[in-house]
Structure 1
């Protein structure tokens, strides 16, 4: 079969490799679509989070097939897998991006998304990803069925949507909150939809691209502000009687969005960081402590939110035809990475093996 194989930063190659064989309790899945994530792009370009430096251990194990947001159909599985996941041959399925060990302190406490070995599809050799015609769901995977009526690229959007919903849950937002979402890419649009489902007082979207701001309004934002044209800190204060936002969800991955969020939050506000940054970010920490006493929270993956993400996709509420802007054959993976990198033409780019 064809597969994209990562050999190192900016060394991804299309190759012919054997179709994998499922072991006990595993499933062989024919991949229908795999999204290209901003973290895939940062890994491709050699961000230290993935490849390590003097302060970070290397995370990527090469050679490995990338791809952690995907959907496919079950081709083969044994009775153990059938009973564990309640799936049959022919079912359309997706798998959570992390395959937990179920033995470390995090897994046994239900915090499986922080599993110590942290085997995410597409980064570890034991969990090859979905940029291939076929892939294996390991026995420890978390598997969900998803409607066969959804176009493949739409169904594969369940992964970034689950992540966005986790960030919303982390915020603990309330009905009377003013919520600001920075970045209207796939994660940000999911944050907007998730926040709107909690019925806060107002959801404000921030981005540079007019087409993404339009999508933000269609996903549930009340206002969409172009940060190149508007003093967003002043605008948010004007909309909140001078106080500032209650909740800030950062989904852009731009260093400038961090200071922006700290500035536009009210005292005792909540900042949730989801992005993977390509470089270090510096801020004035006295804003967090002495000035405002903010709650600053991280968010990682999408634990316990996949069923809700599936339901949200299947509801038809989201403008998925306009979110899933590009579907490319596997051989055009480089063009897909370039589209994600430029950000000017695309929102969600998917490969169709």
Structure 2
């Protein structure tokens, strides 16, 4: 079987998980792709809130002996990535419809294609749920990584900056949440949060062209970024009663759709209270603790349609197209980039609640150790 290869080194730098708050930069062998696999030279990998929760050892990720940890010890983290194909046999290249030298981004999940969900076409809810950087597949906080046969790859233009191209992952997730909301032209849509996911929610909702998009955040600078991304009105819950303001703008009824993208527990009750009767609540965030709300609002009071959203199924081509067409202000969203040696600084910056950053990325093959915008 013929294998086409661009010259690669034998050893590489990679971040390796050894346990909660114990991630180490190590020198390891560059992986060798097997039959049907591709080898990717990693250009950029975004640091996600779920990466941070795993790093700090959130129980829902680390689990116990009866519930395997999502971030396995020995795994290389990183699931928001883009890179260049440098090796792969004919079968792998044909299956993914790529050539050596193409830039690709991959969906986070590597579906088994055998479970009940995969057989029904619901691959993003795959039972085994193997994911890059969390479970059974090394991620992109390394100079090279293997793309397995069942991965879902998408070509991305080389014209985009690497860290901008890697934003396709959170953007696709946000677009899926927008799809779940079933937004109509006359709707008033409220988006909670102007972080990486929230801004994607705004950009996606803008493509649906509702009557009005209202963005909420505690940081005025991020609110301004939300406006540039497509929000018509921005409100700061720390400075005004956003529930009252939304009702004022809707003849006392409330918003039609609420998209939650903060992961902050107060944002849940906020959404339930500012929605109208028969409104739609979509939850995308990953929470670090349990959330308690008055469920009678959902049922007896308003009969709300409450929906979850997970990953970005069927939304990757649209997300990539929005980036390639310049429809999303990624130059403002992607605020900080670091070299692989400074991965800890990247994690710490994502954990910083002061609002110093929006989207933080690592450039594993960057010539400089740290590149901070």
Q: Which TM-score applies when normalising by structure 2? A: 0.93
Contact kept, 8 Å, 1:65 with 1:131, in 2: the verdict is: yes
1:119 is matched with which residue? 130
SS of 2:160's equivalent in the other structure is coil
> Partner of 1:160: helix, strand, or coil?
helix
Instruction: Please report the RMSD computed on the Cα atoms of aligned residues, expressed in angstroms.
Output: 1.1
Equivalences for 1:81-100 in 2 at 5 Å? 81-100=92-111
SS in 2 for 1:99: coil
- SS of corresponding position for 1:263: helix
Distance in structure 2 (CA, Å) of the matches to 1:48 and 1:82: 39
Native 8 Å contact 2:17 2:71 kept in 1? no
SS in 2 for 1:10: coil
Q: How do 1:79-228 and structure 2 match up within 5 A?
A: 79-124=90-135, 126-228=136-238
- The answer to whether the 8 Å contact 1:66/1:128 transfers is yes
1:309 matched to which residue of 2?
Answer: 319
CA distance in structure 1 between the partners assigned to 2:311 and 2:92 by the alignment: 24
Q: Matches of residues 288-299 of structure 1 in structure 2 within 5 Å?
A: 288-299=298-309
CA apart distance, 1:146: 0.3
The match for 1:12 is: 23
Give the equivalent residue in structure 1 for 2:3.
none
Cα deviation, 1:213-245, whole Å, max 9, x if unaligned, reads 011001100001111101000010011110000
Give me the whole-angstrom Cα distance separating, in 1, the residues matched to 2:31 and 2:101.
18
1:42 is aligned, of 39, 53, 60, to 53
Match of 2:357 in 1: 346
Aligned 8 A contact 1:48 1:56 in 2: no
* 1:245 equivalent in alignment to 2:255: yes
| Structure 2 gaps, min length 5 | 1-11, 365-373
Counterpart of 2:251 in 1: which secondary structure? coil
Does the residue aligned with 1:34 lie in a helix, a strand or coil?
strand
Q: Quote the residue 1:76 is aligned against.
A: 87
TM-score normalised to the size of structure 1?
0.98
- Indicate conservation of the 8 Å contact 1:49/1:56, yes or no: no
Structure 1 residue 283, shift from structure 2 partner = 0.5
d(CA) in 1 for partners of 2:106 and 2:97?
13
Secondary structure at the aligned position of 1:17 is classed as strand
- 1:60 Cα deviation (Å)? 2.6
**Structure 1 position 57, deviation (Å):** 5.3
Query: Which residue of structure 2 lines up, in the alignment, with residue 32 of structure 1?
Result: 43
Structure 1 residues 56 and 278: CA distance shift in structure 2, 3 A: farther
Please give the alpha-carbon distance, in whole angstroms, between the structure 1 residues aligned to 2:45 and 2:265.
27
Partner deviation per Cα, 1:101-137 (whole Å, 9 max, x = no partner): 001110111100000010110011x310000000010
- Partner residue, 1:265: 275
Three-state SS of the structure 2 residue aligned to 1:318 is: coil
CA contact (8 A) 1:51 1:57 kept: yes
Q: Distance in 2 between matches of 1:56 and 1:64?
A: 17
- Residue 63 of structure 1: how far off its partner (Å): 1.2
SS at match of 1:103: coil
CA contact (8 A) 2:71 2:77 kept: no
Task: Please state whether the residue corresponding to 1:351 is helix, strand or coil.
Answer: strand
What is the deviation of 1:54?
Answer: 9.8
Question: What residue number does 2:371 align with?
Answer: none
Counterpart Cα distance in 2 of 1:188 and 1:48: 25
Unaligned runs of 5+ in 1: none
Deviation at 1:317, TM superposition (A): 1.8
Q: Distance between the aligned counterparts of 2:84 and 2:64, measured in 1?
A: 39
